Structure 1
Amino acid sequence: MADATDDIDKLYEFGERLNDAKDKSEHRQDYEGIIAAANGSVKAKQLAAQLIPKFVKFFPELAEQALDQHLNLIEDHELGVRVQAIRGLPLFCKDTPEQLTKIVDILGQLLIAGENVERDAVHKALMTVLRQDVKSTFLFLKFSHYITDSPKP
């Protein structure tokens, strides 16, 4: 139990240092610590799901790793972790626009989520992404089934 509390305390430390830093890129180890914490306790995962997308724009070289870890949180068995991770997806689209189609695809797949809270989070995230980039989001949602259903040569 003390380990889980220590992990949470470390995450808050990482987050505070990054919040207070003028040049956040100098605190790469803190961001790497946040990404690594996504493998911790349920509470650590929930906090990591908030912090990973919040600071991703300051660490473009870690964006791929951050998104992969964030997507792992979306597949977590705990509903609270999944919902928190879903809520963070629009920040990835805003801060790393090259990930837009991947994130819209994931949100589209999550539309069939079983839990109402999870489905509501997906709807809100999708609407946020849609407002950020209407054309790309709409085109991808509209035509993605053609891409995935087309026969392979």
Structure 2
Amino acid sequence: MYRFLEQIVADSMTRNAKTVSRGLTLRKLEELFERDDFNAYPVEEASQIVGLVSKFDFLARFVFTPAHMTPRYEDLMGQTVADIMTPDFIYVRGETRLTRVLQLMVDHRIRSMPVIEGDQRLLGMISREDVMRALRRCTGDKNIS
């Protein structure tokens, strides 16, 4: 367990993270969520991360209450990532300790987050699964999943 306390994001993150653009339609975004089985995509513009879009952001567009009328399905699916993305998002750096990542994930109920360099360039993504693998690797416990 003590080995886990020393682990940093760069040792466990997924390096080849996929990104989306602000102009991607919700129809295409839905297809990406289905195909890649990711929970979130960083939104990239001019090689910098400008936001994050998650399945939660996508699903929130379909909430129907008396105070919030849902537009036609086709109109919703024609909206873009820019319409639903979160511009203020939680991210970490490669040198961030996994214990900090774990705390952020628990406190904010986050499934994954971008790993970003100082100039807002994406290094990768760190997910709950990545943290669990690191914990398993550090403890030698093959039953943690």
- Provide the TM-score with structure 1 as the length reference: 0.23
Query: Between Structure 1 and Structure 2, which shows a larger proportion of strand residues?
Result: 2
Greater RCO (Cα-Cα under 8 Å, separation 6 or more): 2
Query: Between Structure 1 and Structure 2, which shows a larger proportion of helix residues?
Result: 1
